[in-house]
Amino acid sequence: MNVRSATHAGSWYTNSPTKLRAQLDSFFEKAKRNEKTIHGPIANDSIPGARILIGPHAGYAYSGERLAETFTAWDTSKVKRVFLLGPSHHVYFRNYALVSSFDSYATPFGEIPVDKETISKLLRKESKFDSRDAVFKLMSEEVDEDEHSFEMHAPFIHYRGEKAPLGMPKIIPIMISGMDEKLNEDIVECLLPYMDHEENHFIISSDFCHWGSRFSYTKYLNTEDTSLKTVGHDLYSLGTFNKPKELEIYKSIELLDRMALDIATKGSSRDWQEYIKITGNTICGQKPISIVLRLVEEYHKKAPRSSPVDGVFNWIGYSQSNPVRRSGESSVSYASGYVQL
């Protein structure tokens, strides 16, 4: 067995199974006490039909509560496989997506099997725009083990998967880097058939706004009264160490993120891409989110949404690593959510 090591255990989160379980127990207990959605409190086990999830991938001191909210919503009653979509933080590539070459992912709790059969099928997919181009390629073991966006979700998948009625689900890690409209369409076409079956689930690994000069993003929104049509006029970059007189910077960051959350709730992939283009918001999983929005759009063409599913993404929690008040500071935002199918 070729096992991907838990390379960030012991640094980004504890490598002790006992301590990690106690930490996750605490996160989940808090999520179940506090978790509310637009449809009311979450039940003890899950939200029926919640088989698309989104959650962050920072160290658990920052992201653990949001991840627990995300995975508390997860309906594991019929899950067999999980398509885990995340961004690339260390390497750049374009015109294709990368899939894992490992047989399983290690966590402090045990291993999660990789769905090698499904990955083999994806590797045979050719672009509809150029039959010589593969839509998916294997990522190197080094690239896989350097990347944290999948690993930070793995203990949570294992934690919930341990008690899943059909056993531990298999995962299909898919890394996205450079992506044009053609690749977006190719990936959607490849993954869309899996949307029809309740055994197939999708998880997006994404943080939200990375704000500060170290992220090359210091955009400031100076009004709460804005929209997708006007936000471009309401944004400007703050100079170093400036403190605006209007909204606190952290409130401006939240307004930007909340606009993104609202667009994802409405479910328009076109509006999502327009929002990213106009604001430049540094949402690291913006491309995986775009893919899933388009998948859900296509899914609803065949199975129109009905009550109680009023939107696409439902959001549970939101937080920031630091309440930024001066432009010399920085923060990363985190959100938890799901789609009910």
pLDDT on residue 36: 54
pLDDT score of 218: 95
263 in any annotated domain: no
Let me know: does 255 contact 234? Beta carbons within 8 Å. Answer: no
Q: Which amino acid is at 117?
A: E
> Domain containing 195: what range?
3-208+284-340
State the chain's mean pLDDT as an integer.
93
- Tens-place pLDDT, residues 75-90: 999 999 999 999 999 9
Q: How confident is the model at residue 244 (pLDDT cuts 50, 70, 90)?
A: confident
Q: What is the mean pLDDT of residues 282-291?
A: 98
User: Contact 153/203 with Cβ under 8 angstroms?
Assistant: yes
Is 238 a residue whose pLDDT tops 60? yes
Q: What is the pLDDT of residue 35?
A: 56
Is there a contact between 85 and 174 (Cβ–Cβ < 8 Å)?
A: yes
Answer whether 47's CB lies under 8 Å from 316's CB.
no
Q: What value does the mean pLDDT take over residues 38-60?
A: 79
Longest CA pairwise span in the chain (Å) = 59
Q: Is residue 119 part of a domain?
A: yes
| 255 domain-assigned | no
Residue 219 covered by a domain:
no
pLDDT band at 131 (very low <50, low <70, confident <90, very high): confident
Q: Is the pLDDT of residue 41 over 70?
A: no
Residue 43 clears pLDDT 70, i.e. is over it: no
Give the per-residue pLDDT at 38: 42
Tell how strand 200-205 and strand 36-37 pair up.
Answer: unpaired
Q: Is the residue at 163 inside a domain?
A: yes
Q: Is residue 216 part of a domain?
A: no
Q: Which region among 12-21, 141-150, 249-258, 308-317 has the lowest average model confidence (pLDDT)?
A: 308-317
User: Cα angle at 110 between 109 and 113, to 5 degrees?
Assistant: 135
Q: Say whether 295 sits in a helix, a strand or coil.
A: helix
Long-range CB pairs of 306-310 (<8 Å, 24+ gap) are: 308/39, 308/340, 309/49, 309/340, 309/341, 310/38
The answer to whether residue 258 sits within a structural domain is no
- Tell me the mean pLDDT in the region 105-124: 98
Instruction: Kindly tell me if the per-residue pLDDT of 1 is higher than 90.
Output: no
Q: Which domain CATH number covers 53?
A: 3.40.830.10
For the chain, the domain total comes to 1
pTM: 0.94
Q: Which amino acid, residue 310?
A: D
182-237: per-residue pLDDT in tens?
Answer: 999 999 999 999 999 999 999 999 999 999 999 999 999 988 899 999 999 999 99
Cβ pair 6, 108 in contact under 8 A: yes
Does 270 fall in a domain? no
